[in-house]
Structure formats: structure tokens, C-alpha cells
Amino acid sequence: MRIMVLLVGAGLLAGAAPAQKIDMATRLLPAPPATLGATVKPFVKQGPGRIAITHVRVIDGTGAAPNEDRTVLIDGTRITAVQAGGDLVPTGYAVIDGSGKSIIPGIVGMHNHLFYIALPGLDATGRFAPPVLVPQMTFSAPRLYLAGGVTTIRTTGSVEPYADLNLKAQIDAGALPGPHVDVTGPYLEGAGSPFIQMHPLKDAADATQTINYWADRGVTSFKAYINISRAALKAAIDAAHARGIKVTGHLCSVSYPEAVGLGIDDFEHGFWVNTQNDPGKTPDQCSKDQGEATLAGMAADSADARALIKLLVDHKVAVTSTLPVFETYAPGYRTLPPRQLELLLPEARADYFYNLTLQKSRSAAGKAVDAKLWANALALERAFVAAGGLLIAGPDPTGAGNVLPGFGDQRAIELLVEAGFSPVEAIRIGTLNGATYLGVADRIGSIAPGKNADLVLVDGNPATRIADIEKVVIVFKDGIGYDSAALLESVKGRYGQY
């Protein structure tokens, strides 16, 4: 697997008292602050209170057809009613005219990092000097997510978990702008990681201790990584489940069927990194092909695919689609539009074009392989959902440069439509399905009275033209309307720096 893709992307300790299970809803969605800090206020377009969004198209996140000409009433942090557009607006409501616009639930991003991957000295030939570094984007990433309509994220792997926990605390306190954050602990990795900032787990006991240490500090999910052993993964899963915490994985050393047998909850990157049929695959070792050989040979209607999908569905294992980070494999890959490129640090922009040029210069045979991988990946995700599987979505914004926070989340939903889902089905995958996996579907992920007022108002109609999901007008989180354009302006030229 090429470097761009590689960069994508036993119970309690003896004698310890049983740990208390987390309350995910309380941790992820605490009561909003009474006041917002000076750093947040400049980005507020509509303050809290009673708000009526009138004559708007409601795409409710359930996969149902849109409801035309509706009025959505917000009182404080909650949606109180969705009524006919011709009904009278109660007195005391600030009115936002939604004519010609659509409202969707806040996006629930399920593979959303708070870091960038830097390749020191990267040049046009693809060479760079070790070590690979992972600088935090604690300033820019939360703003980009919120600007893009992402009101909830799972960090899906952390290199600075204290920074991520502290960031979440400050967002929850109203001191910094950003989405609700499900903080994933440090990567559960084995020896030989390409990232110098990751701790190599020594054994199962180390895995158990790592889970309990970070769960005690407020982490609410964990992610296993490419070199973890089966014994360490099993120990981590058991320890996490004892705390009521789920474990996902971007795997390689452990195949999908093996991980299902160990009790894993979710697989990252769709079907790209399953190594079960890679030539020369040995137990507990990442294969040379890192899943590409398996994907190339696994058509969606093959016996292997049907068996794997049945295994996942029977064991209620979710799959996270991260199509944006693999989009350079697609025959029709588009260069990032100018408004995204201008958000990048100049050096990050240069790295993006180095990688893009190298990808485009691949041989015709190489491009044909890429096209087959892309087609199989899309078809497998469709087949998984058709069989009853829970597909969730995220962008995996990392150092390849072709995926930015927020914009990548929108693109993840657009690419699901390219994969064959209807626009309303794709929106459900990017909203309600993520909330369902997190166990908070009663609070977020769809539009209904009593739910959190986490909403995105966009120009146009994403139910017929999914690209309209990019036309964000205002983003509501806990009933407060944030100015997408102002948030983007505040980080222009800085993503990749801080």
C-alpha cells in the first residue's frame, strides 16, 4: 500500500476495583454552558433563545423523503416542533427565512482527527526524511469541522490525548468553538509503527492498563492500529467493554474475521484494510499489501464477500466508510477547489500537489488497479448496508492533504451517493447512523421535536443535488447558530500549521 494510504490513515488489572461504566450521552453531550467566552462570540450568527426557521425543506436524517415548506421551532437547546410552513409562528421567536433552503441534522463525523501528518522535507519525488511527525491541529480543525456542519466528531485515534481531552473540556465550557467530541484514546499499536509518537504495546497486560488509564481520564472510545497483536487487541477489547466503551480498528496485522472473533465493534476505512486474503499473510504481522490484495480479489458478489458481510452483520460490527481519503484512487478524482486550497498552510499545499502529481503519474496498469480497488470498495459498502449492516462515515483528514476537516465530512456523504446510495440514504449514514453507533440517537442525528438543536441550514436541495450540502449558511449546535464563513476565514492559510 502506498505511503499516502498508510498515513490515512484480559480484563481489569488484578486487585483493582471494578470500574464504573461511562454514560456516553452525558460525556459526549453535556449540558451547554450558560455563557459563551470571548473567543466564541465572534462566530455566533444567531444567539440562543427561541428561533423559528420558516418555509424550509426538512431532510430529517432518517432516510425519509424531504418535507417541503416546514417551520422548525427551536427553544433554547432543543427542537420543539416541526410544523407546516403556513402555520403561525408563536410570538417571541426570532425568524430566519428558510425559503429556497434545506435543513439537515448536524453531521456526526466518525473518523475525524485533530492532527495533521507531516512528512519532513517531502519533495516532488515522494522522498522525505524520518521521522514522520503528527502535529496537532487543535486550533484549526475544530473550527473547520463546525464550519462544515459537523456538530459531533469521534477523533478515531489520538497522538495527544491530553490535548484532545482538554480541548473537549474547553469546547463544552463555551471557551472555544468546535463540535461535540467523542475523544478516542491513544492508538492501540504494536511494535514497528510508522509514527514515532505512538506507544508500542508490549503485551496484553499493557493493553489492559492503557485502556483503564485513559478511560479513567475521560476517553470515550479506542482505536486499534495496524501492528497490534491478537492478544493485545483481545485484552483491549475486554477492558474497554468492561467500561462500556467501544473499540474500532484500522487493522492490518489482524484480519477482519479474526477481529470479529475477538469482539471488535467497528472497522475503519470500509473494506480497504482487511488482510484476510493477502498473499503471505502471517498471524500478528501486517502484510506487505496491507489489504489491497484482498480488496482487489473481493468482488461484492463473491463467496468471500458474502461470508464476510454475514459475519459482520451477525456480530453487529459496524463499518466506517472513509471514501474521501481514498478518492485519489478514483478515475474521476477532482483537484481540491480553490476555497479549500486557500485554507492550507503554503507548505501543506505544496505537499498536496507533490502527492497528487505522483498519483497522476502512475502507469496505466497502476491506474487500472486503482480503479478496480475503488469500484470494489464502493460495491462492498453497498452490499454491507443491503445485508443490514450499520455503515457510518467520516473523512480521515490527514497528511495526504486531499481531505480537510468539515469539507471532508461533506465529501464523505457526496461519495456515498457516487457509491450508489440515494442522497437521503447518504445523509442518514453521515448523521443518524453515527449517532446510533455512539448510543445517542435519542439526542442527535435526526430532526424531531425533543432532540438537540444540532442542525445545518444549506442553500439548495441536497436531496436532489447532494453537492448542495457544501452550501452551508448557518450551523446550529445546541441551539446556537454559528457563522460558517467567519469560522473558515479565521483559519485561512493555517491548516497544517496549528
| Cell output for 295 | 480488496
- pLDDT recorded at residue 334: 84
Contact by Cβ (8 Å): 262, 367: no
- pLDDT recorded at residue 20: 74
Average pLDDT over residues 398-409: 87
Q: Which residue has the cell 484532545?
A: 164
Q: Which residues contact 78 (CB under 8 A, 6 or more apart)?
A: 449, 450, 451, 452, 453, 479
Q: Which residue has the cell 480543525?
A: 141
Q: What is the mean pLDDT of the chain?
A: 95
DSSP 8-state symbol, 336: P
Whether omega for the bond prior to residue 131 falls within 30 degrees of 0, making it cis, is: yes
Does position 380 have pLDDT exceeding 80, yes or no?
yes
Contact by Cβ (8 Å): 168, 430: no
Contact by Cβ (8 Å): 51, 93: yes
pLDDT digits (tens, 9 = 90+) for 236-252: 999 999 999 999 999 99
- pLDDT recorded at residue 400: 64
> Sorting pLDDT into bands at 50, 70 and 90, what band is 12?
very low
Q: DSSP letter string over 132-180?
A: BB--B-TTHHHHHHHHTTEEEEE--SBS-HHHHHHHHHHHHTTSS---E
Does position 117 have pLDDT exceeding 60, yes or no?
yes
- pLDDT recorded at residue 332: 87
pLDDT digits (tens, 9 = 90+) for 171-207: 999 999 999 999 999 999 999 999 999 999 999 999 9
Average pLDDT over residues 68-75: 98
Share of the chain above pLDDT 90, in %: 92
Does position 6 have pLDDT exceeding 50, yes or no?
no
Does position 1 have pLDDT exceeding 50, yes or no?
no
Q: Which residue has the cell 521521522?
A: 131
Higher pLDDT among residues 13 and 220, named by residue: 220
Q: DSSP letter string over 20-74?
A: PPP-HHHHHSPPPPSS--TTTGGGEEE-SSEEEEEEEEE--SSSPPPEEEEEEEE
DSSP 8-state symbol, 287: -
> Sorting pLDDT into bands at 50, 70 and 90, what band is 330?
very high
How many angstroms separate the first and last alpha carbons of the chain? Answer: 28
pLDDT digits (tens, 9 = 90+) for 283-306: 999 999 999 999 999 999 999 999
pLDDT digits (tens, 9 = 90+) for 126-142: 999 999 999 999 999 99
Higher pLDDT among residues 1 and 224, named by residue: 224
Average pLDDT over residues 270-282: 98
Does position 491 have pLDDT exceeding 60, yes or no?
yes
Average pLDDT over residues 391-395: 98
- Pick from 368, 369, 357: which is nearest to 400 by CA? 357
> Sorting pLDDT into bands at 50, 70 and 90, what band is 4?
very low
Question: From residue 491, how far is each of 288, 404, 405 by CA, in Å?
Answer: 38, 12, 12
- Pick from 111, 246, 108: which is nearest to 180 by CA? 108
pLDDT digits (tens, 9 = 90+) for 446-482: 999 999 999 999 999 999 999 999 999 999 999 999 9
- pLDDT recorded at residue 360: 86
Contact by Cβ (8 Å): 19, 212: yes
